[in-house]
Amino acid sequence: METVDVLTIAAHPDDVELTCGGTLLKMVDQGYSVGILDLTEGEMGTRGTPEIRAAEAEAARIVLGARFRTRMNLGDSQLTTSIENRLAVAQQIRYRRPRTVILPYWDGRHPDHYTTATLGYEACYAAGLKKVDLEGEPHRPHKILYSTIFWDVPPSFAVDISPYFEKKLEAVNCFASQFHGDLTEIEQLFPAWTRLTDRVRTECRYYGHQLGVEYAEPYVVKELVAIDDVVEMPVASI
């Protein structure tokens, strides 16, 4: 299987596009290879079908420039951190051998999102165990990032995606079954969906302005961020 520099792991088709799509576009533009791992088929979504969402996800993959998009079927709205799921995701990590993994933030409204954060971390750890019953050589990613774009938490850093923002929206808009047409039947559950583009633009602009750029995507890491050069650090203090 093809290996990648960056692997993003998400609960549902369309999660990656909303949270870290701009970052993936930027990494591809810088010469890195990226891949997408969707843990479910989004089959419990009010709109669309797994088949429609699969076609939409493939269209979005092409826009993002990802080398592959692997769909697992671990159960939409039934996702758990079981040992079986941990090993299944760890196997994918061994196959793809990423240096960086991007996960959703570990808090969230949808249980699948915060479960993905925990499951992804545990799978990254398990993939490096020599005696675990998996194919391939042990591998652990060097870095695990958590996307916090829809959560009001102080980010560890943010990525300037200004040149890639409109293409990020193009990838989001591939999911017509979820975000286009008459949304009145789900408006009470997801009122932000009727203003999706505005919300994504506002969130990315908010973090971009903190960097002094137009648009940015924020991330949290659990470990300390090291800086080698305190003279050439970006973003002015005053």
CATH number of the structural domain spanning residue 194 = 3.40.50.10320
Residue 233 belongs to a domain: no
Q: What is the tens place of the pLDDT at every residue in 32-53?
A: 999 999 999 876 565 667 788 8
pLDDT greater than 50 at residue 234: yes
Task: Assign 1 a pLDDT band (cuts: 50, 70, 90).
Answer: confident
Q: In the prediction, which pLDDT does 120 show?
A: 98
Q: In the prediction, which pLDDT does 17 show?
A: 96
Structure tokens at 104: 């959703």
pLDDT greater than 50 at residue 191: no
Q: In the prediction, which pLDDT does 49 show?
A: 79
pLDDT greater than 60 at residue 192: no
Task: Assign 186 a pLDDT band (cuts: 50, 70, 90).
Answer: very low
Enclosing domain of residue 128: 6-220
Q: What is the tens place of the pLDDT at every residue in 136-160?
A: 999 999 999 999 998 889 999 999 9
Q: In the prediction, which pLDDT does 180 show?
A: 62
Residue 208 belongs to a domain: yes
Q: In the prediction, which pLDDT does 47 show?
A: 65
Average pLDDT over residues 68-97: 95
Task: Assign 197 a pLDDT band (cuts: 50, 70, 90).
Answer: confident
Q: In the prediction, which pLDDT does 50 show?
A: 75
Alpha-carbon distance 5 to 165, whole Å? 22
**Angular region, 9: left φ>0, alpha ψ -120 to 50, beta rest:** beta
Q: What is the tens place of the pLDDT at every residue in 106-139?
A: 998 889 999 999 999 999 999 999 999 999 999 9
Residue 140 belongs to a domain: yes
Average pLDDT over residues 197-211: 93
Report CA torsion sign: 52, 50, 105, 151. Answer: positive
What burial letters (b/e) apply to 62-82, b meaning 16+ CB within 10 Å? Answer: ebbebbebebbebebeebebe
Residue 230 belongs to a domain: no
Residue 225 belongs to a domain: no
Residue 118 belongs to a domain: yes
Mean pLDDT taken over the chain: 91
Helix (H, G, I), strand (E, B) or coil at 37: strand
**164 contacts: CB under 8 Å, gap ≥ 6:** 22, 25, 26, 29
Q: Whose CA is closest to 51, among 19, 73, 27?
A: 73
Q: In the prediction, which pLDDT does 182 show?
A: 52
CA 54 vs CA 47, 49, 57, 58, 90: distances in Å = 13, 8, 5, 6, 23
Q: In the prediction, which pLDDT does 215 show?
A: 98
Structure tokens at 67: 């080398």
Residue 229 belongs to a domain: no
Residue 232 belongs to a domain: no
Phi first, then psi, for residue 208 (nearest 5°) are: -65, -40
Q: Which amino acid appears at position 81 of this protein?
A: T
State the total domains in the chain.
1
Using only the alpha carbons of the chain, give its radius of gyration.
18
